[in-house]
Structure formats: C-alpha cells, structure tokens
Amino acid sequence: MPLDREQVIKAAIDLLEEVGLDGLSLRRLARELGVQAPALYWHFKNKQELLDQLVETIAAEARAAEPPAPGQAWDEWLAERARGIRAALTRHRDGVRLATATRPQAVQLNAIELQLQVLCGIGLSPRDAMAAMMAVANYVSGFTLDEQADRLRAAEPVDEELGVDEVFRFLEAYPLMNASLREIRDPQSDASFERGLQIVLDGIRAAVARSAR
C-alpha cells in the first residue's frame, strides 16, 4: 500500500519524539516506515521540506491563525496565542529548535499577517506592530527553549535528599538573585511564563498609548 503524505508526517513526528531533531533523517524515517528512502521523495524533495511541513503541522495545533473572538481584547487574544504556541512547542521534543530551523509556511505566514492586522488596528504602525510581534515570539521561543532544556537536565540523576535551600546555597553571594528565585521557585512554571508575558504585553500597551498621543 503506497504511503500518503499525512502518514509520513505522523511517522516523522513520532520519530522526532523518539530521537530528537539531530537523529531525524529521511533514511531513518524510511526505515521506520518500512520503505526505501526514495519513496519519501514523492512527498518531500529533501529533509528541509519535511521539517518545514512538521512546523506547519505544529503551528496548526496552536491555532495561531484564528482571529480574535467577537469583543475579545487584543492583549488577551495575543496572550492566548502565546500560550497556544508555547503549548504546541513543548508538546514536541526539540519543538523550538525545529521551529527555528525552518522557513515559514502558509499557516505561519497567515498567522503573522493576522497578528500585524490586529496590532495595526489598535494604532501601531506596521514597523512597531512587527517589533511587538517579534518581542512576543522571541519571548515565547526563549522561554520554551529553556523549558525543553530543563526537561533534558531533569532526566539526569539527582540527589533526591538535596533540599531547595541547598540548591540555592551557591547563590548566597547574590542576595537579589537568591531572593527572587526563592520567591519564584520554578523559573519554568506556568506562573513564571505568565509573569514574563504580561511584562512584554505591558510594553506593547505602552507603545499603543504613545501612538494614541
């Protein structure tokens, strides 16, 4: 039975979860599917085209191209979009690395254009709208990259008897850092993500207020 495109994409995502981005290759994917590598070229001319499609599939999971709901505030819509992208990226191993290694496809381009329309609609210039969009995107990518790196570090053996106070003892020479991390506890928690996201949105709100003046 011949392979279809969706079957190849699903198998590629499954393989990504197993071996990570560095281990994903067309040759290995073909082996997993029980075919010869040339069979995959009916669907993707090279590995880059496959990776581009994987990111488009992940972006579709985030529903990033959906417009604001009727009456929904622009900043809440932007926050929901950021949460959805974070969730989609963290759902897949090496999600951020994959996204940064690919070229935007139709789903991503439509999402970018929609976001620029919304931001220009509240008074930002196209230039400032692009800067605002990139600020949110870079925050989400950077935060999620740290999350995924922490996930790998968590797999390493640790001393289960080591308490939080011991973990932060090395920061005693840095009182402000020590105090802030003791309060935050988990820098990669949902609460930490929301705190940083609101700071980014505050900057966009300030830019909108300046434009109104």
Please state which of the ranges 86-95, 114-123, 155-164, 172-181 shows the lowest mean pLDDT: 155-164
Question: Residue 33 pLDDT > 60, yes or no?
Answer: yes
Q: Give the global pTM.
A: 0.83
Residue range 46-212 in CATH 1.10.3720.10: no
Mention the CATH class of domain 1-45. mainly alpha
- Give the mean pLDDT of the chain: 88
User: What sign has the CA pseudo-torsion 103, 76, 138, 87?
Assistant: negative
* pLDDT at residue 63, as a whole number: 83
- In the chain, ranges of CATH 1.10.357.10 domains: 46-212
* pLDDT at residue 181, as a whole number: 81
38 to each of 21, 27, 45, 49, how far by Cα in Å? 21, 9, 9, 15
